[in-house]
Structure 1
Amino acid sequence: MRIGIIGAMYEEIAPVINDAENRTRKDIGIRTYHSGSLCGKDAVIAFSGWGKVASASTAATLIVHYEVDAILLFGVAGAASPNLNVGDIIIARELIQHDLDPSPIFPKYQVPLLGISRFETDAHLRDSAIKAAEKFVSSDISKSIAADNLARCHITKPAVYQGLIASGDQFISDPAVLAKLCGDFTDLKCVEMEGASVAQVCCEHKIPLAVIRVISDKADQSAHENFSFFVSNVINHYSQEIIHNFLTLI
C-alpha cells in the first residue's frame, strides 16, 4: 500500500518527513514530495500550503503522479463547539465546503455536477485514525510535550471526537462568523481550510481518505495567537505519534 500524507504547514508533517527511511525528494511545481518508507509503509509526504486550491492540487498530484492508494490529511483546526478544548482531536466523518454557494443554479454547499455537499471519509481509515488518536491520548503526553507548553495551551487530557469538519478559504477568528457556521451545520466539530477540497479530489478519483485534525484554537479573537503558539510548539509531537500509530493500523 502506498499512502499519501498531506499537511498544510511544514510543522504538521516535518517529524514524519524526517522519520522516513530511504527518503528521496522531487519538486513538482512549487511543492516538494518526499518518498520513502514509514512504519513499513510506502509513503509520499507533502507540505501543501494553506487553502483549498493548494491542498486539492497536492492531492491530485499524489493520486495521478504517485498513484497513492489512500490519503491522510493531518493538521490543526479551530474548534466549532464550546465543548472542545485546545489539544482535542477530531476525526472527520464528513467534510463540507462552508464557502461554496452555487445557488440558485445548484443548492447551497453542493458541488456542481457531483451532487454532493458532504463528503464521507473511508470507514476503515476513519476507524484506524480514531484508534491511532486514542492510543496517543491514553499515553503520558507530558513525556513528549514540555510541561510549560501544555500549561500555556491548557492541555490536560485531550479527548478524541469524530464528526463534521467544514473547510473554506478563510481563517475563522470572528465569533459571529463561527456562530453562523454552527447555525448552518448543527453537528459541526471544527473549521479549517483544506479538508473538504481534498475530500472532493479523493471522491472524484475513488481514493480512500482519512482526515485528522487537532484543535489549536477556539476560532475566536485570540485564534491567531493560540494557533501560532500551538503550531510552533505542540503540533509536531501530535503528528509524529499519531501518524505512526495510524500507519501501523492500516
Structure 2
Amino acid sequence: MKIAIIVPMAIEAEYYHKYFHSGNKEMFGSTMFEHFCVRGNDIYLGLSGIGKVQAAMNLTSILAQVNLDLVLMTGTAGSLQAGVHQGDLIVAKSFAYHDAHNTLAGDYVEGQLPGEPASFDLDSPARTQLTNFLEVQGVKYQEGLIVTGDSFIGSDQQKQAIKQNFPQAVGVEMEGAAFAQVAAHFKKPLIALRAISDNGDDGANEDFDRFAQKVGAQAAKLICAYIEKMS
C-alpha cells in the first residue's frame, strides 16, 4: 500500500522520525515528504502546515503525483465537550467547517460550502480496520464530528459560538475539513486520529504548549503500531 501520514506541525511528527528510518526526501509541490518502506508499504510522511489552505495545498500536491491508497492525518485538537478530556483520542467520523456561514446565500446549513456536502463523512473499510485495531489493543477512543476553522480557539467565547452551531461536535482544529474535502474529491479514504491537547477555552494556549507534543506522540505511536501490523 501507498500511505501518506500528514501532521500540521514538526512537534507532532517527532515520534515518527524516531520510528521510521532511512527515508528518502521527495518534493511534492512546495512540501517535502520523507519516503519510507515499512513491511512492504510505501509511507510518505509530511507536514501540512497550519490552516485550511496549507492542508489542502499540500495534500493535493502529493495526491496529484502519487496514487495513494490511504491518507492518515494525526495531530491535536481542542475539546468541545465536557466528556472529552485532555489526552483523549478522537477518531473522526466526519468533518465540517465551523467558519463557513453561507445560509444567506441559498439552501445551505452552517458549515457548508456551496457545491459541497454539509459535512464530510469519513466512513470507509480502512477506518473500520483502524478502530478494530484500537479495540483489540484495548485503546480507548471516542468518535464524532470534528470542526475546522482558520482560528486557534483559545477563549470560552469562541468555543461557545462554535457549540451553538455545532452542539454535537467533539473537537475543533485547523486542518481536518480541508483534508477531508480534498480526499473526497480524489476519492481516497482518510483516517483522522486527533488527540485532545486542550479544552478550547481561556486556558487553551497554555494547555496547548504543554500537551501538544505529548498527545501528538501518543497518536503517532498508535499509527506506527497499526502500520507495523499491516501485511
Instruction: After superposition, give the CA deviation of every residue in 1:168-209 in whole Å (9 maximum; x if it has no partner).
Output: 001111112211222212211000000000000011111111
Instruction: Choose which of 110, 113, 121 in structure 1 pairs with 2:112.
Output: 110
- Which residue in 2 is equivalent to 1:43? 43
- Which residue in 1 is equivalent to 2:131? 130
- How much has 1:28 moved relative to structure 2? 3.8
Q: Which runs of 5+ in 1 are unaligned?
A: 139-158
Which residue identity lines up with residue 214 of structure 1 in the other structure?
A
Judged with a 3 Å threshold, the aligned counterparts in structure 2 of structure 1 residues 49 and 30 are, in CA distance, closer, same or farther, namely same
- Which residue in 1 is equivalent to 2:189? 208
Q: State TM-score, norm by structure 2.
A: 0.90
Query: 2-side partners of 1:182 and 1:58: how far apart?
Result: 29
Query: 1-side partners of 2:161 and 2:19: how far apart?
Result: 41
1:161 aligns with 2:161: no
Q: State TM-score, norm by structure 1.
A: 0.84
Please tell me whether the aligned partners of residues 44 and 62 of structure 1 are also in contact (alpha carbons under 8 angstroms): no
- Which residue in 1 is equivalent to 2:120? 119
- Which residue in 1 is equivalent to 2:223? 243
Q: Among all aligned residue pairs of Structure 1 and Structure 2, give the percentage whose two residues are the same amino acid.
A: 27
Query: 2-side partners of 1:90 and 1:39: how far apart?
Result: 26
Instruction: After superposition, give the CA deviation of every residue in 1:224-245 in whole Å (9 maximum; x if it has no partner).
Output: 111111124x135313321113
- How much has 1:21 moved relative to structure 2? 4.3
- Which residue in 2 is equivalent to 1:217? 198
Which residue identity lines up with residue 130 of structure 1 in the other structure?
T
Query: 1-side partners of 2:138 and 2:74: how far apart?
Result: 16
Which residue identity lines up with residue 191 of structure 1 in the other structure?
V
Within a 5 Å distance, the mapping from 1:47-196 to structure 2 comes to: 47-106=47-106, 107=108, 108-114=110-116, 116-134=117-135, 138=139, 159-196=140-177
Question: Which is further off, 119-128 or 201-210?
Answer: 119-128
Which residue identity lines up with residue 185 of structure 2 in the other structure?
E
Query: Which secondary structure state, in structure 2, belongs to the residue aligned with residue 45 of structure 1?
Result: strand
Please tell me whether the aligned partners of residues 13 and 236 of structure 1 are also in contact (alpha carbons under 8 angstroms): yes
- How much has 1:57 moved relative to structure 2? 1.0
- Which residue in 2 is equivalent to 1:231? 212
Please tell me whether the aligned partners of residues 28 and 65 of structure 2 are also in contact (alpha carbons under 8 angstroms): no
Aligned length: 228
- Which residue in 2 is equivalent to 1:146? none
- How much has 1:249 moved relative to structure 2? 5.0
Which residue identity lines up with residue 68 of structure 2 in the other structure?
V
Query: 1-side partners of 2:192 and 2:177: how far apart?
Result: 10
- How much has 1:103 moved relative to structure 2? 3.5
- How much has 1:70 moved relative to structure 2? 1.4
